[in-house]
Chain A
């Protein structure tokens, strides 16, 4: 499994996609922006380019000739997706903290969610939805990704849109997430933990479904 992950990191994925989490994380420095957009660049740029590269480079055929199980092939690919997602969220969190430091004296008014623990929990839930749709759908063929990517991205964006809309419409939510963050650390921590748990659970379920499907895939 480790060798497969290294194969993706060294051959399958261009180094640029490991720099993107840093570059895109810097978008967190834009004051009072729609920060849900920051992790979304992963769906819009990294995933289509990476999966397109796997397809054009005959990665599936290459991998299947190595002494590895089909289960490990899926496990490694899911791990790589998770690594990149964590890098995207991780750097966004870091730049979110920088954002807080830089703008601490500016008294910014947030219309959309401010970077906070709770917000990162919501982002994790969004990635969980993305994974549970993308991964099982992709492994029906292990090479066609347009339909899977479109569905997964749409679902994640709808989730983010609804949550953000509620965050604007419901005054108490808006206050907790944007104004009185420090007074509601417990709520924020709970949302973050819930987000991480949902992310882990959904990704694990996605992996299991994907393995079942991939075992039936014929490598033509």
Chain B
């Protein structure tokens, strides 16, 4: 079953456009949604949440159309936007008392469990929490109302390596039961190397690729060689950098002939992002 099914999402702004954004997330998995700043990650997430009006496309969550079942589906979604604070001078207790009224399946015992597990003090104000603790508080809320799909916009941004690692372990633990699915956007690709099952890559408002993580990486090759070798593949490369030793660049696996003698390696997610970012001006 698909936890999230996005088909042909379009949204036009004066200086930016989401173009035919489509991807699917299977239930019980973690999908990393990567892209440079301004690539369209948050716009896509806000379109999923019906916070902006799209020009076209369909979003289905847990098999139901989001536009038709928004209220019902929001009961099943836990959403968090990194870096945004709400009522941060209020105590956690006060905020939770307000929020829990909105959810039919609020589980007070589960909430208390998450609070103690995350070492969250209910009497603290939101502003007193560290960035990592704020994310954990959001997760505690989402998990206590029985969210089956967590949509997290840059949850790990601003966290120290220890807090990030801790959070990523938690994500993996959550999906282990097969009921919860997570879509999280980030530009910190090392987080995804650690815990994502699937990768969806967006650049300039378009989905470049959406696939299982290893398959995603294997679909590209990172080439390096001298300038004479560059001339063999230049036209087919996504982008490349030339230095005094020769060149390094990214190419789609299907465009690369392994018998050409050019040194090829599997790129990291970061390298894929960087070389695509270099390509962007060509089709903007």
Contacts and interface: CB of A to CB of B under 8 A. Distances in A.
A218 B84 contact: no
B75 A11 contact: no
A11 B102 contact: no
Interface in B35-94: 46, 49, 51-53, 70-72, 74-75, 79, 81, 84-90, 94
Interface in B97-133: 97-99, 101-103
B95 to A, nearest CB: 7
A7 B98 contact: yes
A57 B87 contact: yes
Interface in A62-79: 62, 64-69
A218 B130 CA distance: 30
Contacts of A7: 98, 101
Contacts of B85: 58
B81 A3 contact: no
A212 to B, nearest CB: 13
Contacts of A67: 70-72, 74-75, 102-103
B245 to A, nearest CB: 45
A58 B74 contact: no
A66 to B, nearest CB: 5
Given A11-B87, A57-B87, A58-B84, A218 B101 contact: no
A16 interface: no
Interface residues of A, number: 21
A62 B141 CA distance: 13
Contact of B52 (A57, A59, A65, A218): A218
A10 interface: yes
B53 A216 contact: yes
Contact of A64 (B51, B88, B99): B51
A12 B94 CA distance: 11
A60 to B, nearest CB: 10
A66 B102 contact: yes
Given A3-B101, A11-B95, A65 B87 contact: no
Contacts of B49: 64-65
Contacts of B79: 65
B229 to A, nearest CB: 47
A215 B84 CA distance: 23
A65 B138 CA distance: 12
A218 B70 contact: no
A30 interface: no
A67 B61 CA distance: 14
A3 B74 CA distance: 15
A69 B71 contact: yes
A57 B72 CA distance: 26
Contact of A10 (B52, B89, B97): B97
Interface string A180-220: 00000000000000000000000000000000000010111
Contacts of A219: 46, 51-52
Contacts of B97: 10
A68 B102 contact: yes
A94 interface: no
A65 B87 CA distance: 14
Contacts of B72: 67
B90 A218 contact: no
Contacts of A19: none
B46 A220 contact: yes
Nearest to A69: B71
Q: Which 4 A-B pairs have the closest CB atoms?
A: A67-B74, A62-B86, A219-B51, A218-B52
Interface of A: 3, 6-7, 10-12, 57-59, 61-62, 64-69, 216, 218-220
Given A11-B95, A62-B86, 19 more contacts: A3-B102, A7-B98, A10-B97, A10-B98, A11-B87, A11-B90, A57-B87, A58-B84, A61-B81, A61-B86, A62-B87, A65-B79, A66-B74, A66-B99, A68-B71, A218-B53, A219-B46, A220-B46, A220-B52
